Structure 1
């Protein structure tokens, strides 16, 4: 009888659990794995602030769940689960559909905590979902649209007063994005920057309290430098539609973004299982509910203490709880030994705007990073995560969103990678380079490259030098005082013969230099010399034929704009190869740099790539192994 494993929730913990379960049971037909979520996409929760602050578009934080588990032993079902019957081992959706399980993994995440403060749930905006991020972005835009029409100075000021409540990771990242974006909006809407006020508020005496004081100081200084109004030791007592009460003072605003607290989601809290603290379900060291050993809780749903401290609600902890749960489910099914949870938190990273960050990396001996290096580390870790869940496809998409398509220079490398120009400027150059390659190919045919060895000897220069030196030595020997006349004549005859050989070699090389110019590389690298002597020379005509055909085909494809990305790379590679063999002068360099310039899609302008690539891409993505390996671009 098949064992049915259901994962409820496609957050960081749920997706990781699904990936791990696939690896454990991919060859086991007695196990069925199902992932259920009410949304069809996995949300990158750690990047919500980028969408809310309009640094990237909303596609940047969504990953299609079906894409993640394409061709894998995990079936995805989109459903909104209303209740769980633990005795019957069934989940029931709001559409009254039941799902039976033998093992249940609950990873439905967490939700904001308003601490019972009046008006927060009604009037403050949370940043805890894809929809939240889009809503905040649209709200900020709406505030600027209304402000430019407002003639009352007080109302205008309140419309341009933005408050982020909570100075933890989410709050600091949100306020960093917000202050950058409002400067851009001030320029677009012709608003004086002095009219805009961006504040971060917290009841605690410092921001980012989980980080070392050194990084806290740097982060605080950065916020002040960006123009953020930092209000610490300032409790929020009430939030209304047009104001907030902060430390007993009324602050007029239409925007309060709430990032001040987090707790386990209400769904998990209402399941009837024994609860821990902050709405999280109590689990044992195996990540099992203490009420039901067939029910596992992972990520923010699980409450477990180590050294009297709860496991933090962060991505790394979510992954590690999922790993423990998956190992123990596999152990239970296969009769192996279970393992207890042991966390290994290796660091924290926070971005403050698009170009600055702070990070504390390392478990035993943490290393503090700040500025550009911390942002680089954050991007690298994000790309590693995305590569694990959706391979090349999602990693490339992340690079596009963060580096190449970013607006207003809001990237940690500025706008250098995102500066784009229309491809039609490259059209004449693409055709010209193609024509030049074809001319080279046909010229070689005319010279007889398909019939006999014609490639320049890579050691031509050393041949001349060696021959001349030999001739000089021979002549010196002949003119020296010889023991007998016979020896002198013999030496002289040998010298003349050697000198003749030297002159012949020099003449041949002189003709080659005249034809091809002074070699760019006079001393051929050892590895290339070995390839020439042992592989190319014995098969010279064959290699010459391949080279000639490649040059002609390469030129033709560039002219008609067919697979220009591939052929531009071939062009650059061929240029390097020819240069290393000593067969070309410095004039070949423009071929290399020209090829690099054409790599970026020059065939889409009056080329066949405009028609063929979309057609191929559509069919390529449908191939099973391609979908499974994520070897395609959207």
Structure 2
């Protein structure tokens, strides 16, 4: 077999997918070489740009290094360069710094936002098509909120604190949902009333989210409105200025932040390849993904247009479409090299999932399964993770888990922050539950039957209480008691106890103290001088143990209950009622004091609420501006 060079231009969803699958298919064929060229050294998970723009995940979280993706594929050469064209006569892909011969090209250079020539969008608006756009928008929002918090003029302040999204497609709705999630954190950082930061979603059509079934879209609309997002339908933006936008009906709307998400088109670079273009600059391809001008050039992803239905609209510019076009192209290249039959592009959309922030979404799976809330978000994450499985990247699948679930801040994930490692408390959850269960199991026999500590029968083994327990008894009873005590003492001497931090078969565990220290004996005798006090203490102590156990299991006031655990264990040790083998309760309680109640526990809500209430009661509410001219 002659040497075959396959050049993939563009490391987007389609390009990475095609390169991975070709590399695997030809991993044992040294005559096939694959070259992947992109202007960046990383693949950007562009469908999650809104998470960067709204400061939910670290700025580099959606950048996946190409060397890490392909370092195990020896038949793949990764090149960081800017492709300037394709010399079809010489069969070379030309870059700014060289050229690469090809037998087949897979062109997947993606898309970019389309502002349809609306005046002012380029100068004063923001788009969300690439990583740099997300960083720019994030910095801008931080700046306008900071400036808004310091602005005395009501009109200027309103414009600074008003954020407008134009377009209710995937990008627009996911962006406004994520920014709304960020609102409370921003408000706290700049000492603002959160309600001052306003969000508006503008859509020219009479309905929003038209890629979804109306029932799902309506559910999403109700959720946005419930969260204070102003949904403005039949609203066209015809001009963008620094501090306001012009609307189609002749009115203006104050805002210093307009994010344009109302459409996409092929990248401007598409015209540089001399291939026929269709609607929105997309390159026209045949049903097998070959370009209409050259059978050795396959076009995939958002930049391609398959006009199977004759409308000229082409396939949706979504990730599922990119994967399907890439699969068609690579399958047909393999078919040509192996003399097999060509296949046609087949749309296979398993469903649509839209997130409206980190905790809520809507989804339509397979056209019949409608999900919302937690389960819709779960499905969205599963689909995202499936891509990493499809491109055989366990490393970045792990990284996705980390930045989406374990490294999030301010409770901004689908588990509402319970899995976050920011406080390093998740992994103490088993310790907290075990410690709480230990208390409850230990108390179970104390609250029922003949062994109950709630009946007037002495359970505390303190010697000075024994005469009080037997006073008024017959001499014979006293003799019997003395005999029993003596027998028990003799049995105790006959049994050997050993020091150990775990139970050893055939040996009895050693108590921490065989008997109370003199100083503690005096204190205890003073506090519990007689049987009546002892009965009260037995009941009170049992109730306290039950409350500690319940609080630990529920994650309520975990610091206090863990401290109480340490104190109780200390009391039991000094009282001669505790064994070395159970001393683990002390270090475990110390571990649980590190805020463990905030992971799947009530402390996640109770502690911040109490801090807020008592902080406001003592110090008032912090504000960004003080004085008689401060906004009310």
Q: Aligned match of 1:416 in 415, 418, 421?
A: 418
**Displacement of 1:305:** 2.3
Q: Aligned match of 1:289 in 275, 282, 291?
A: 291
* More deviation, 305-314/404-413: 305-314
- 1:9 and 2:10 are equivalent in the alignment: yes
Residues 227 and 284 of structure 1, relative CA distance in 2, 3 Å threshold: same
Cα displacement string for residues 191-215 of structure 1 (whole angstroms, at most 9, x for unaligned residues): 1223221111110111110111110
- What corresponds to 1:33 in structure 2? 34
Q: TM-score, normalised to structure 1's length?
A: 0.66
Residues 420 and 259 of structure 1, relative CA distance in 2, 3 Å threshold: closer
The size of the alignment, in residue pairs, is 445
Q: What are the within-5 Å matches in structure 2 for residues 512-527 of structure 1?
A: 515=507
Q: Aligned partners of 1:419, 1:29: CA distance in 2, in Å?
A: 45
- What corresponds to 2:342 in structure 1? 338
**Displacement of 1:421:** 4.5
- 1:323 and 2:339 are equivalent in the alignment: no
Contact 2:164–2:258 under 8 Å retained in 1: yes
- What corresponds to 2:317 in structure 1? 313
Q: Aligned match of 1:384 in 380, 383, 386?
A: 386
Q: TM-score, normalised to structure 2's length?
A: 0.67
Contact 2:286–2:292 under 8 Å retained in 1: yes
Contact 1:67–1:390 under 8 Å retained in 2: no
CA RMSD of aligned residues (A): 2.8
Q: What are the within-5 Å matches in structure 2 for residues 267-306 of structure 1?
A: 267-306=269-308
**Displacement of 1:276:** 2.2
Three-state SS of the structure 2 residue aligned to 1:198 is strand
Q: Aligned partners of 2:195, 2:315: CA distance in 1, in Å?
A: 43
Three-state SS of the structure 2 residue aligned to 1:211 is coil
Q: Aligned partners of 1:589, 1:28: CA distance in 2, in Å?
A: 63
Contact 1:269–1:280 under 8 Å retained in 2: no
Q: Aligned partners of 1:249, 1:281: CA distance in 2, in Å?
A: 38
**Displacement of 1:318:** 0.5
**Displacement of 1:150:** 1.9
Residues 422 and 334 of structure 1, relative CA distance in 2, 3 Å threshold: closer
Q: Aligned partners of 1:273, 1:385: CA distance in 2, in Å?
A: 30
Cα displacement string for residues 581-613 of structure 1 (whole angstroms, at most 9, x for unaligned residues): xxxx9x79979x969x89x9xxxxxxxxxxxxx
- What corresponds to 2:56 in structure 1? 55
Q: Aligned partners of 1:123, 1:261: CA distance in 2, in Å?
A: 17
Contact 2:287–2:308 under 8 Å retained in 1: no
Deviating above 6 A after TM superposition, structure 1's stretches of 4 or more consecutive aligned residues are 587-591
Q: Aligned partners of 2:67, 2:505: CA distance in 1, in Å?
A: 61
Contact 1:108–1:301 under 8 Å retained in 2: yes
Cα displacement string for residues 155-202 of structure 1 (whole angstroms, at most 9, x for unaligned residues): 111111111111111000000011121222111111122322111111
Q: Aligned partners of 1:307, 1:353: CA distance in 2, in Å?
A: 35
**Displacement of 1:399:** 1.7
- What corresponds to 2:168 in structure 1? 167
- What corresponds to 2:357 in structure 1? 353
Three-state SS of the structure 1 residue aligned to 2:296 is strand
**Displacement of 1:422:** 6.4
Contact 1:109–1:299 under 8 Å retained in 2: yes
Q: What are the within-5 Å matches in structure 2 for residues 486-497 of structure 1?
A: none
Contact 1:287–1:297 under 8 Å retained in 2: yes
- What corresponds to 2:154 in structure 1? 153
Unaligned runs of 5+ in 2: 432-503, 510-578, 595-632
Q: Aligned partners of 1:163, 1:414: CA distance in 2, in Å?
A: 26
Contact 2:124–2:241 under 8 Å retained in 1: yes
- What corresponds to 2:261 in structure 1? 259
